[in-house]
């Protein structure tokens, strides 16, 4: 997995939220209405301790992982367990993204995700 080696602002992995959302293809980010899930934290432009997302605080802030897919406690994590069963189509898609990354890796995920029109899409 990626770990901290891809912490530069230009890496496509930086555009994958800890939950599996792909910010790089999200219209809200492209329109400048969102700063993305992880952008700016590694450079000091944003303060991770002020983030509202529990997954981001744990994964990116506390463990310095790119996504929850990298976490050795993935299957037992209470933060992930609280997030993934939320109702809504996007939450199922985000979970699918993390599972895909865990099985096939970031390069395979990014090849597919770069064609999406939003923060989630088809993985096969």
Q: Which of 81, 43, 42 is nearest to 61 (CA)?
A: 42
Buried b (16+ CB within 10 A) or exposed e, 35-71: ebbbbebbeeeeeeeebebebbbbbbbebebbbbbbb
| pLDDT value of residue 11 | 85
Which positions of the chain have pLDDT values less than 50? 1-6
DSSP summary character for residue 48: G
pLDDT digits (tens, 9 = 90+) for 80-97: 989 888 888 999 999 999
| pLDDT value of residue 77 | 93
Rounded to whole angstroms, the Cα distance separating 57 from 6 reads 18
- The pTM for the full model equals 0.86
């Amino acid at each position: 997995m990626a770990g901290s080696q891809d912490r530069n602002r230009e890496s496509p992995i930086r555009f994958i939220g800890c939950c599996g959302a792909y910010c790089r293809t999200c219209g809200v980010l492209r329109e400048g209405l969102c700063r993305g899930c992880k952008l700016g934290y590694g450079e000091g432009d944003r303060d991770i301790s002020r983030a509202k997302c529990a997954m981001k605080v744990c994964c990116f802030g506390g463990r310095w992982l790119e996504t929850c897919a990298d976490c050795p406690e993935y299957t037992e994590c209470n933060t992930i367990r609280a997030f993934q069963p939320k109702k809504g189509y996007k939450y199922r898609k985000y979970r699918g993204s993390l599972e895909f990354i865990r099985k096939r890796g970031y390069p395979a995920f990014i090849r597919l995700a770069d064609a999406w029109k939003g923060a989630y899409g088809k993985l096969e």
